[in-house]
Structure 1
Amino acid sequence: MQKTTITATELVEELGFKLNQARRIIREAKSIMVSRGYSMYNNKRLGVVPRTVVEEIIGLPLMNEEVNDYGKNNC
């Protein structure tokens, strides 16, 4: 199962971004989604965005890791 969304916490823990930088990326991703017509992202409390939009912002593909039912990486 491939995860299609990402949070600021995951950007910090998995990719090593600083917390403020991760929050800025999520904020920008939400803005992009609103401009594309997804008004549900115009919500202050929503902190989950599609990985594809984050990839567009940072210009690099995110590692697609499979996650099992307990949230641990399959290694």
Structure 2
Amino acid sequence: MTWSRSTFPSSRIWAVEKDETLVQTLVELAQSFGLATVGEWVSDALSVELLKKAGVSYLQGDFFGAPEL
């Protein structure tokens, strides 16, 4: 099995600004294995800013557009 990316569901990180060190550490770990990172369930501008600052490769969630049926 080959992995190419790791995801970070922001719903599991309750206070992103409080967990900034945790997010940064997880991103660095993923990058050390050559993995791209994905921030999921992003719902506000603060999360976007902090996840980008941490070096998360890709972001997705309601902040960018709600799913449509």
* TM-score for both structures, normalised by structure 1: 0.32
Q: Which has the higher strand share?
A: 2
Say which one has the larger Rg. 1
Q: Which has the higher helix share?
A: 1
